[in-house]
Structure 1
Amino acid sequence: MPFMGSLSSHFFLTLLSCLLYLNPSLAYSLKNCSIDYQRNPTDCASLDCQNRKLLTVPDDIPKDAVSIQLSSNLLEKITKKDFGGMVKLRVLNLALNRIAHVDIGSFIELVTLKTLLMHQNMLKNLTSNIFQGLSNLTVLNLSGNEIRFIHASAFQFLTSLQSLDLGSNMLQQVTDIQPVLQLSQIELLHLSSNKLSSFQTNDLLLNVSSSLRLLDVSFNDLEKFSITTPIFPYLQMIDLSQCGRSSGLKWEIPDKTLLRNITQLFLSQPWFSFEEIQKVLQSLDSLTHLRLNYMDEWINKGLLAAVCKIPTLRRLDMYLNNLSNFTVELSLCSELRELDLSLTHITELSKGSIQSMKKLQSLNLEINLLTKVPPDIRNLASLEILNMNDNIIFELTCDDFVNTKHLTELSLNFNHITKLDRCVFENLSNLKLLDLSKNLLWTFGDAFKTALPKLEVLYISQNYINILERGDFQGLQSLKYLNTVADNIGRVTSRSFDGLKNLETLVVSLALEYEPDFTELLHLESLTIYFNIDDTLKSSHQNNYKDFKHINLKCLKSFTVICSGFHYGFPLDVPVELFQAMKDLEDFTAVNVYIQAPNVDTFQSNNQLKSLTFAKTDLSDLDPELFQSIPNLQVLNFSACMLTSLDFLVQANLVELRYLKLSDNEIAVINETVFQFLPALTYLDLENNPFTCDCSNADFIHWVKTNKQTQVVNAHQYACAFPVAARGTMLLDFDIQSCWVQGSFLCFISSSCLVVATLLTSFIYHFLRWQLAYAIHLFRAFLYDSRKRKKACPHQFDAFVSYNVHDEDWVYREMLPVLEGEQGWRLCLHHRDFQPGKPIIENITDAIYGSRKTICVISRPYLQSEWCSREIQMASFRLFDEQKDVLILLFLEEIPSHQLSPYYRMRKLVKKRTYLSWPQAAQHPGVFWQNLQRALQTEEVVTENEDQLTGPRGC
């Protein structure tokens, strides 16, 4: 039977596809780590195992991990097996542990490791083979340990090392770092906060020059810093911050050519005498960047006079100095490009102190006590970056930036500015970033209506703007990012954002009762709206917020709506019409917005949606049809949404979903079959749900532990909420074997029966499929026969004609004119008399039992037809069951008996019964029709000795 064959083939193909689908990687039910979610599933795993109170490195970390974060744990040692086989690992963070010992060969298989962080541990010695295998390591941080001894061969395997941090250890001799300086690629060396008493190149026995570019010896009690040999030809930066002893620090570099490449020097509260510092500065002819921290005493003595004489100096950092009682004199530093005066307690810059810096490009005055913009700034025509965050500036005047036409970044965050005049920014024609957030602004005036033609980023959040008027930003033609969020939500009037035709990102606060209009924002790609509903608004407004209709953003890709405050019972549903224009929307987030599940048609126009987030929303009545129009969804976050079940995922058809977060819901029991409908899922977060720890979750627990595709984040930390006796235990600690022991024997019997049934089915299909199919048809005919006899219905037709569609022409051309036209018989033809809409098998049965006899018009196509075969089988069953002469065989062509062998029932009937042959009647057709008429006239009742087929044997 063709049908049975196709069914079996489909079954085995399905089974094979399921087997091939299995991922050979390790299961993702990690006990102590979580794998960071990655949108690209082909990316290798990055593990987060931080702050888990781990005593040892977990043994279930996937071998294909590329990054492992194991910081802030309780690890005491590293063994050889901890990272075995991790040949793809590039970043390993072991910081903030208690590691005191590393076995030889522990890192030998980490052949691709680039970064190793082991700071804040308890290492005391670096042995000769501790870093064996790390030939590709470029960054090594060992700061904050207790290292006293470094073996001469400790770094021999680190042939690619570029940066080494040995700060905050117990090193006492500069010779301890000699093996480091011999590395061919080393560029950065940090030795801060050790026990070094001196740093002298005479103590270093190096045969070759070092490639070192940065040397940090800060926070050491040095007596002498001496470079007398040419071992640092590439050295560019020296950090001597807080170095020396009370007796002083001696600088000894007799040959200035040994420092010809030094461009950066950091000094912070050194134990240099004033004269010694002057000597240091005079020895550096190529210095471009100087940092002076905690040096109030020397600055008061006139150190800046010496500093400004350095002809190559371009950057001067003076932060962390107390200059409140000092008039800063920097007029001699006319060649500076960058000046940092942050955290210096200055209340003002005296007039003329920096006006000579005609080439200054960056000025940092952050975290000071300025009450106004220093007057000298208006004379800095080359200034590009100005930072005055966190001061107490009250007012901006029209003259403050009158000549700073090249300014590109202006930061005035966290000041006391209350208003903006029209003229404040009119000369800043090149400004690209402006930060006015966290001020006391209550109006913009006309500040943004005509000025700032090149401004791209504007922060005005956390101010006291009560209203955004139409045209407030109409002069900002180049603006791409705008943030207007504030706690005291004000009014946004119609057309408030007119003119912002190039805006791409908008973060805005809206008062619920006012209507926003974003129709001018033709290129907006990201929109975030904050609402705040208090009791006053709740009591004064009882209808839905319906004014979203003016958003209409066709280019929008990310849309976020966040509602703060209590709004239960106060609908804030985003109308369906809003999404219809957002054809390219990829990310939608609604936090505390909907009070019930959104309408199923909400996203019918957003088939590009890839990320959907609902939080603090009652989704208990969620309709799975909501997802039918968003087949490309990859990220789904339903946190704190009162969900009690995952059944909605069965009908959601989320075949592309990779990230699913359902934390903080009311899910107690999970049917693991749900995840069969999420074939791409790789990340599942179910934290803070009240799980039931009994056999109802046994299948889910087993799936979490054994599935090889989906990571259930922090699953081993899921706690039991029910039953009460299990509270305090972990979900994955529940013994699921107790749920299966009682039915183990039944499972054995069932599986054994399944195996036997499979073998038996295969045997029957191969050897007995025709006999089996025939028996099924006989049984069905028996059922129909019993039903018809109970009804005792009279015959409607004289004969039912069973024929194949290939023989339809002969039936209508030859048979019907004679039998119906000349002889007057009532015939039943399936093309003419079958009842439309009724099952075929019922039509066949009704036709056979509703006719006195059945005429089978047999040809080769007839024998090969499945439905014709069923018709003759039912007719023959009636023949033998009723013992009546009801079957007439009519052959349209000569078919030898041996060719009927595959058609077992037909061959048996032909051997036993008389039949009519049309080919033999070619010369005498009248005789043929007379024999057929006589067969139709024959009474149905026959004796036991009579043939059950009427007509001559070989007409």
Structure 2
Amino acid sequence: MKEHWFPLSPAFQRLLFILVLLCLSLSCSGRTWAQRKLPCDVISLNQSESFDCSDRKLLQIPQDISRNATRLDLSSNRIKKLSGTSFRNLRNLTRLDLSNNFHPQKHPLTIENQTFSMLDQLKELLLDSNGLSAVPSALPSKLRFLSLKFNCIKTIRPNDFMHVRLLETIHLIGNCDYESVCNGLVIENRTFSHLTNLASLSLSNNRLIGVPQFLPQSLQQLKLKQNTITHIHQHDLSGLTSLRLLGLSGNCPVCSNTLFFCSPCNTPNGALQIHPYAFRKLSKLQELRLSGNSLDHLQSSWFENLTNLRYLYLSFNRLAGEIANGDFLSVLPGVEVMDLSYNHPGQSSYSHNLKLSRNFSNLTSLKTLHLENYVFSTLHENDLNPLYNLSHLSVLNLGTNFIYQTNLSLFGMFHNLSSLGLSENKFAFLSKKEGVLSTCGCSYGYELNRDRFGPYVHKDRLYRQHLPNIKPKCIAYGPVLDLSRNNIFHINPDMLQGLDNTACLNLSSNSIGDMFNGSEFVHFPKLKYLDLSRNKIYLHYEHAFSELTELEVLDLSHNNHYFVVAGLNHSLAFMENLSSLKVLNLSWNEISTLTHNNISSSSLQELDFQGNRLDIMWKICQNYELFRALQNLTSLDLSYNKLHRVPPEVYKHLPKTLRRLSLSKNRLKVFDWERLTQLPHLEELDLSKNKLEQVACALTSSLKFLDLRHNRISQLAPGFLRGARSLYVLDLSFNLLELINQTTFESGAENYLQQLSLQGNPLHCTCDLLDFHLWMRSNEVELPLLATEVTCDMPVERWGKSVLSYDIEECVNDENAMTFCIITSFLIILTLLVSLTAHLFYWDLSYILDYCGAKMKHHRRLVPTDFIYDAFVMYDTADPLASDWVLNHLRVELEERGERARSLCLEERDWTLGMPVMDNLSNSVRQSRKTVFVLTDGFLLRGVVKMAALLVQQRLVEEGVDSMVLLLLQPQVLQHSRILHLRRRLCRRSVLEWPADASPAAQRWFWHHLKRTIRKDQIGTHTSLHSTYFTGR
């Protein structure tokens, strides 16, 4: 049998396509999509997964975290309460971070009993900054790391850690500091004694008055910084034979220069009192921190048995005398790092020169020495004699000493010095005399105003090996000389001798105003990194820096002093002579004019030109070729140049080797996307923080990273990524995108995106966003902060909620959508067919329907009635045409033809002679089943017609039967009659019209309807709205 295929409607086809795509996305990438819906970053490794949900404004723990999760970070959220069921599905967790969930209204995190009891595998638990008043109960037995820093715990009891005997690290820092209301953390006896695996205990900032007793022998790190401990007794530490690090800094601070609330210790000299043999049992100690304890004397007995000591911190004390004459230095042969900074004797007795004890020469292992803020004016060669023979000394920090005079050549006498810090002194290097600068009896005061890593101990471990505030790139090149933050305003080559091996020279933040001519740095032949930022340099001569043949990095940023002076000539021609230069920083100089139209370099790879005035240079149609001669340039930063538009001529003069171009933070309203084809190797383009409103479809195939953050882009052209086969990262965050269409991004094999950022856009979360939802499901593209920061702006009830908060089932419901589509499609098609058929085949269809209806009904005998006549015919007897039609056509058709004859009552034939007209009329109406009014022109003006109509209406009221039949013999009769129109509305079968075309078929149809109307009672043909009226009820 031949099969017939019926085409589906386009809407139905689209619905089927969406449903199939949805099913495929759910089945193929369901797990990945579920993870991306989470407000967390997920990292999968083998069978374990790590969830980073930090700083996502969460009010509760996400429910869809995988059971395989081993690490969960929930820090910096707004979680208020944790119950016993919070982690019921996360039994495989090994690390849990719940830090900083202190509510903004200062409501502490509530943790119910048994909250963590089900986490059998948990080893690390962080609960910092949560306002907790007690250690949580029922901690997991396998816990090894517990952090409770900066809470409000006032008392620690043995029962708190009774069931966590495997603990190795406990942090209880800052539970009772000076900002809290407690008087000191109370640690009951033997609280930690049963923790035989405990290796690290941090109790800093708790106002402890003594070293806790009965600590386990396994302890390797004990931190008691910034408490109120005034005495270290002989046996306080005697049981800690495994101790490697002991922190006692800040217990008796020098209150004259602290940055926090300070109360001097109530001891004879205000210093921490340490028993001569307090450290005797600590033979394994490697790091000792005694900074900020007002110590003015160091006993050799403290260090005699510390044979493994490597790091000794003694800053912020009163040890100027010990530095000059201390015997303790003779018993520290293994110390590698020593910090003696900020040990000045007092403002009234500043030293003229540096006084070092000859015992410094016994520090044979010393690698790093910090001597900041000793405060002396002159540094002579002999002052450093105790240090010259230290073959391992590589870092010497003499910063913030207000040194006015020295000869740099004396530092050349060190064997292995790689980093010399002379920052924040008073060097000027004006003139030379007898190899040592002339002395000056300066008796100036000073203020301590320096941003340090911390008030006492250097927290950064890199500080052990390097100078502070030195850029890592500078250190990587080799030996460092730091002369930043001095009073140098002129470079005298004779003053910079003796350090020929220097590879990095930092002269930033001085007042240097030289016009360099190629002679200033002749004594630095190996210099590779030169930092001259934040000075007043005037670039004029083309031979500037030409003596630095190996220079690779030159920082000239923040030297705008002369660039903003009108009328001066500025030249960058010196770059052509620097054959090794790779990086040049000219940022924040407000360069608006140059004497040369272009700058030339065959070696330069990176140019930082932000914070200048290219808008002025290019506005006057000059310097379009400024960067053309940079033959090997790969990175160009033109941000902060106040550009409204990049002239088209500029693009063709940009180096073809460019891989990175930054135009961020300008005022660009338009961008010539098609010009990117002139940069065939461009991989990274930064246009963030401009005023762009649209993105064209002209992205080059080489582009890998495109940053369009913080613009005004409101729509994306369909397929604007088509052809960008290398684009992996696209950032569209913080724009004005409201809708993302189906064709905006490519799908399947044409999609090369790996990361797409959309947070901060006013998205309209309606069904118009369905296509984007389906695209997200079917493409494994990373969308950062999708569940928390990609939010809805409209409709109002979804404002601020995630785009994932509304279910796409609202737009595509399988059963309901299909049913609705089928029904509506059927109704539309049926309506169209019926309307078209009725219009073309009205008479034929009506005849067929009536004929079929008559055949389907069984013939039944009519119930006899009391009527004498079937119909009383009222017509205009004075009209010959009307009389002829009634007598010769109507009468013949009803009485003489058909299966059953219908008797008629006619005025001219059946009325009784001599009887009043009123009586004849009344009898005819009552004795007839129907009263037929044959309407012609002028007939309605006769009074007898009106009387007959009233009698018919009276019969309707009395008997509930409507017997009136109106027969329009002429089509123009009563065309504008409201009564006739109302009659047609209420009883359309009782109004008949003689066919105008007089065709035999039409006449036969007319007689058929007339006979049926006479035979059938009219009450059944009324609408239900009027049925009660006609029945008289």
Q: Same fold (TM over 0.5)?
A: yes
Match of 1:624 in 2: 697
- SS of residue matched to 2:628: helix
Q: Which amino acid aligns with 1:660?
A: L
In the alignment, what sits opposite 2:480?
Answer: 409
Contact 1:663 1:686 in 2 (8 A): yes
SS at structure 1 position matched to 2:505: strand
Kindly indicate whether the alpha-carbon contact (under 8 Å) linking 2:408 and 2:498 is maintained by their aligned counterparts in 1. no
1:405-438 C-alpha deviation (Å, 9 max, x unpaired): x991112223332221234445322212222222
Aligned to 1:334: 361
CA distance in 1: counterparts of 2:343 and 2:194, whole angstroms: 35
Residue 421 (1) aligns with residue 487 (2): no
TM-aligned CA deviation for residue 638 of structure 1 = 1.0
Q: Is the aligned partner of 1:148 residue 2:148?
A: no
- What is the match of residue 643 of structure 1? 713
Equivalent residue, structure 1, for 2:315:
293
Q: Aligned equivalents of 2:165 and 2:505: distance in 1?
A: 46
Which of 429, 442, 459 is matched with 1:395 structurally? Answer: 429
2:338 to 308, 313, 316: 316
Is 1:547 the counterpart of 2:547? The answer is no
Task: Tell me the amino acid that sits aligned with residue 474 of structure 1.
Answer: S
Length-normalised TM-score, structure 2: 0.59
> 1:178 is paired with a residue of what secondary structure?
coil
CA deviation vs aligned residue, 1:709-753 (integer Å, no higher than 9, x gap): 542536645666678x78975574996789749999554354899
**Distance between the aligned counterparts of 1:131 and 1:506, measured in 2?**
56
In the alignment, which of 592, 595, 598 is matched to residue 672 of structure 2? 598
2:440 paired with 1:361: no
The reply to whether residue 575 of structure 1 matches residue 651 of structure 2 is yes
- What are the within-5 Å matches in structure 2 for residues 48-447 of structure 1? 49-50=54-55, 54-59=58-63, 70-79=74-83, 82=86, 84-85=89-90, 87=92, 92=97, 94-95=99-100, 97=102, 98-99=108-109, 101=111, 103-104=113-114, 106=116, 109=119, 111=121, 116-126=125-135, 129-134=138-143, 140=147, 142-146=149-153, 148-151=155-158, 154=161, 159=166, 161=168, 164=171, 166=173, 168-169=175-176, 171-173=185-187, 175-176=189-190, 178-179=192-193, 182-183=196-197, 186=199, 188-199=200-211, 203-204=214-215, 209-210=217-218, 212-213=220-221, 215-216=223-224, 218-227=226-235, 231-243=239-251, 246-247=266-267, 251-252=274-275, 254=277, 258-270=281-293, 280=302, 287-296=309-318, 299=320, 305-312=326-333, 315-323=337-345, 324=347, 325-327=349-351, 328-332=354-358, 333-336=360-363, 337=366, 338-343=368-373, 352-358=382-388, 359=390, 360-373=393-406, 378=411, 381-382=414-415, 383-395=417-429, 408-443=479-514, 444-446=516-518
Measured in 1, the distance between the counterparts of 2:550 and 2:96 equals: 41
Whole-Å separation in 2 of the counterparts to 1:712 and 1:408: 42
TM-score, normalised by the number of residues in structure 1: 0.63
| C-alpha separation in 2, matches of 1:580 and 1:259 | 65
Instruction: Work out whether residues 474 and 498 of structure 1, in 8 Å CA contact, stay in contact via their aligned partners in 2.
Output: no
SS of match in other structure, 2:186: coil
How many angstroms apart in 2 are the aligned matches of 1:693 and 1:500? 57
Q: Per-residue deviation at 1:343?
A: 4.6
8 A Cα contact 1:256 1:283, kept in partner: yes
Equivalences for residues 497-512 of structure 1 within 5 A: 497-498=575-576, 500-509=578-587, 511-512=591-592
Cα distance between partner residues in 1 of 2:113 and 2:72: 19
Q: 1:494 to 1:682 in 2, by over 3 A?
A: closer
Q: Is residue 45 of structure 2 the alignment partner of residue 25 of structure 1?
A: no
Partners in 1 of 2:735 and 2:46 — Cα distance? 27
Residues 741-752 of structure 1 aligned to structure 2 (within 5 Å): 747-750=818-821
Q: 1:180 to 1:699 in 2, by over 3 A?
A: farther
**1:360-413 alpha-carbon deviations (Å, 9 max, x no partner):** 53222334544455779547524332223334433376799999xx99111222
- Take 2:601 and 2:205, find their aligned partners in 1: how far apart are those partners? 58
Instruction: State whether residues 733 and 759 of structure 2, in contact with CA within 8 Å, keep that contact through their aligned partners in structure 1.
Output: yes
CA shift in 2, pair 1:689/1:414, >3 Å? farther
Partner of 1:661: 731
Q: How many angstroms does 1:549 deviate by?
A: 0.9
> CA 1:640/1:75 → structure 2, altered by over 3 Å: closer, same or farther?
closer
Residue-by-residue CA offset, 1:487-544 (whole Å, 9 max, x unaligned) = 518477454234544444333347354358775443x5544322522886577x2346
1:284 shift after superposition: 5.1
- 1:748-798 CA-to-partner distances (Å, cap 9, x unmatched) read 3548999xxxxxxxxxxxxxxxxxxxxxxxxxxxxxxxxxxxxxxxxxxxx
Give the drift of 1:604. 5.7
**Alignment-mate amino acid for residue 497 of structure 1:** M
**Percent identity over the alignment?**
20
Partner of 1:530: 610
Distance 2:402 2:239 in 1: 46
Q: Which amino acid in the other structure matches residue 640 of structure 2?
A: S
CA distance in 2, matches of 1:466, 1:721: 52
Tell me, in whole angstroms, the C-alpha distance in 2 between the residues paired with 1:54 and 1:379: 59
The alpha-carbon distance between structure 1 residues 674 and 176, as it changes in their structure 2 partners (threshold 3 A), is farther
Letter in 2 for 1:330: L
Q: Which moved more, 1:190-199 or 1:226-235?
A: 226-235
The match for 1:783 is none
Q: Give the unaligned 5+ runs of structure 2.
A: 6-16, 103-107, 177-183, 253-264, 438-476, 564-568, 826-1033
Q: 1:291–1:581: structure 2 CA closer, same or farther, 3 Å change rule? A: closer
1:544-943 aligned at under 5 Å gives the runs 545-553=624-632, 556=634, 559-568=635-644, 571=647, 574-582=650-658, 585=659, 590-592=664-666, 596-603=670-677, 606=680, 609-617=682-690, 619-620=692-693, 622-627=695-700, 629-630=701-702, 633-647=703-717, 649-654=719-724, 657-677=727-747, 679-681=751-753, 683-692=755-764, 696-697=768-769, 700=772, 709-711=781-783, 713=785, 716-717=788-789, 730=801, 732=803, 740=811, 747-750=818-821
Q: Following TM superposition, by how much is the alpha carbon of 1:46 offset from its aligned partner in structure 2, in angstroms?
A: 6.1
Q: 1:578-608 CA deviation, whole Å, 9 max, x = no partner? A: 34344xx36766552866323425246635x
Query: Residue 986 of structure 2 aligns with which residue?
Result: none
Measure how far apart 1:42 and its partner are: 13
Aligned-partner Cα distance in 2 for 1:727–1:746: 23
Offset at residue 53 of structure 1 (A):
5.0
Work out the CA distance in 1 between the residues paired with 2:822 and 2:425. 78
Structure 2: which amino acid aligns with 1:25? Answer: T
Question: Contact 2:648/2:675 (CA < 8 Å) preserved in 1?
Answer: no
> Mind listing any 5+ residue stretches in structure 1 that lack a counterpart?
5-10, 755-955
Aligned-partner Cα distance in 1 for 2:431–2:241? 51
1:253 CA drift (Å): 6.5
Which residue in 1 is equivalent to 2:548?
476
In structure 2, distance between residues paired with 1:751 and 1:661: 42
RMSD of aligned residue pairs (Cα, Å):
5.1
Aligned AA (2:289): F
Change (3 A) 1:293 1:121: farther
One-letter code aligned to 1:546: E
Task: Classify 1:479/1:594 alpha carbon distance in 2 versus 1 (closer, same or farther; 3 Å).
Answer: farther
The question of whether the paired residues in 2 share the 8 Å contact of 1:319 and 1:340 is answered with: yes
> In terms of mean alpha carbon deviation, does 426-435 or 210-219 score higher?
210-219
- 8 A Cα contact 1:133 1:157, kept in partner: yes
Mapped partners of 1:62, 1:156: distance in 2: 28
State the secondary structure of the residue aligned to 1:199.
coil
* Aligned equivalents of 2:797, 2:387: Cα separation in 1: 73
